[in-house]
Amino acid sequence: MNFIKLYKIPLLFAILSVAFYISFGYDLERSDFTKLISLYGALFIITYLFIEKFIPKSRDYFWFLASLGIVFRLILIPAIPNLSQDFYRFLWDGRLLIQGVSPYLFTPSSSPALGVTIEQSQQLIDGMGALNASHFSNYPPINQLFFAVAALFAGKSIMGSVIVLRVLIILADVGILYFGKKLLEKLNLPIKNIFWYFLNPFIIIELTGNLHFEGVMLFFFVWALYLLFKGKWFWAAVLIGISVSVKLLPLLFLPLFLKYFTNEKTQKVLEIFGVSIKKLVGFYSVIGFTVVLTFLPFLSSEFIQNFSSTIGLWFQNFEFNASVYYIIRWIGFQVVGWNIIGTTGKILPVLVFLLVLAIAFFRKNKTPQELMTGMLFAISFYFLLSTTVHPWYVATPLLLSVFTKYKFPIVWSFMVILSYSAYGENGFDEKLWLVALEYLVAIVVALWEISISKKFNPARF
């Protein structure tokens, strides 16, 4: 009775959230943007109230919010993803893999030549779409392992496979909650920060709902950071390698560890520019060895060619919800009269690499919070200069922001839903003014936070 009295208002909003998640998961078409943004906006406002306003003077509130996050995810367990078709490719790759066929060597559209039978083959191909079916898989080996698990447990049922993948993703998010809480305690930051990830409707909808594996990657990465900050660099390196083998994105952060391994006590033989060569080389070597080990079963000249060419498509062919690139593309049309993505897609990654090196060499990344702040800015620059930024990509800067004083990724996780305006009843038509609004709001908030940070501490950003 005391519980109900204490949590009366939060419980009412929890019931309302349950209704909204049911509607989102089971009664929403991607083309119905008005309904989509209305439900999302309502859920985001309620989440803000849960985290920032409804804070009863009780230690149980953490477990109350954690329970809500799990319940909201469980609501979506049997829901077929309605905002993304990618999961059909996950199921295809997994079912191919358990038959001993590498998903990196064959495209779904070439399935008649495989010589094996894929359950519900045509349904999966139709579901993923012709574009996806015409390309080789670009999901790294550990990610493929999860797809194979779904095929092993439910290889003849799309619904069953979806449930298996969803359970794995939910477990990863619970792991992030666990290690995220421990990291926040170690950094003396508010524990409630972790709920901007765990309770965020963006995460629940994009990862649990739409079955994207960013959360699994982030679980291994956050676990690795937790071990690293406890001095266990070897196992941290192993976990970072596994994280890379779920999604390649953590490779972007590797240069940033350079200054973290700086030893204040200069050792004449073992140090160059203050960096402990033994420990640093060991750290990078273990990461590299772990990544190579996971790729080893698939290695061949055909794999390297197919995998690299598919990765290249994301930089030189595909474009969606971009920011700086769209401005460059517009300038290209004005100057030369055609889309210059082929050229721009080669230059922008180089620029990103240089920016990351600048953060690695010219910014302090010695403390855990400084390191994660550097990662936040590195990933933000990367997405600002990318040709393709799907909504679920924002999960990485969002989680990193939890451990820093910057909150602009939270705003971005709210605004990124505007990108779904591109999917209308008459087909794909990106609304560039909404894309501009998304980035304008996120960038303005970021610049404001940076200016405030510099005002109080000019030596840092």
- Distance (Å, whole) CA 60 – CA 419: 37
The residue count for the chain:
461
Q: By the 8 A CB rule, do 52 and 85 touch?
A: no
- Distance (Å, whole) CA 387 – CA 345: 7
Q: By the 8 A CB rule, do 420 and 206 touch?
A: no
Distance of alpha carbon 318 from its chain centroid, rounded? 18
* E strand or H helix at 424: strand 423-424
In 120-157, alpha helices (H): 121-128, 130-133, 141-154
Q: By the 8 A CB rule, do 312 and 265 touch?
A: no
Query: What pLDDT does residue 426 have?
Result: 86
Query: What pLDDT does residue 111 have?
Result: 74
Average pLDDT of the residues of the chain: 92
Closest CA to 253 of 349, 338, 164, 376: 376
Query: What pLDDT does residue 269 have?
Result: 40
Extract the residue ranges of the chain whose pLDDT is less than 70. 1, 56-58, 113, 263-276, 454-461
Would you tell me the crossing angle of helices 214-229 and 158-186 to the nearest 10 degrees?
A: 30
Query: What pLDDT does residue 347 have?
Result: 94
- DSSP state letters, 162-214: HHHHHHHHHHHHHHHHHHHHHHHHHTT--GGGGHHHHS-HHHIIIIIIT--TH
Which residue type, as a one-letter code, is found at position 157? S
Q: By the 8 A CB rule, do 314 and 348 touch?
A: no
Query: What pLDDT does residue 456 have?
Result: 55
Q: In this predicted model, what pLDDT tens digit does every residue of 346-401 receive, in sequence order?
A: 999 999 999 999 999 999 888 999 999 999 999 999 999 999 999 999 999 999 99
- 142, two tokens: 């550990």
Closest CA to 51 of 13, 3, 8, 1: 13
Per-residue DSSP letter, 427: E
Q: By the 8 A CB rule, do 276 and 263 touch?
A: yes
Which phi and psi (to 5°) does residue 276 adopt? -70, 105
Cα dihedral 126, 127, 130, 135, rounded to 10, equals -120
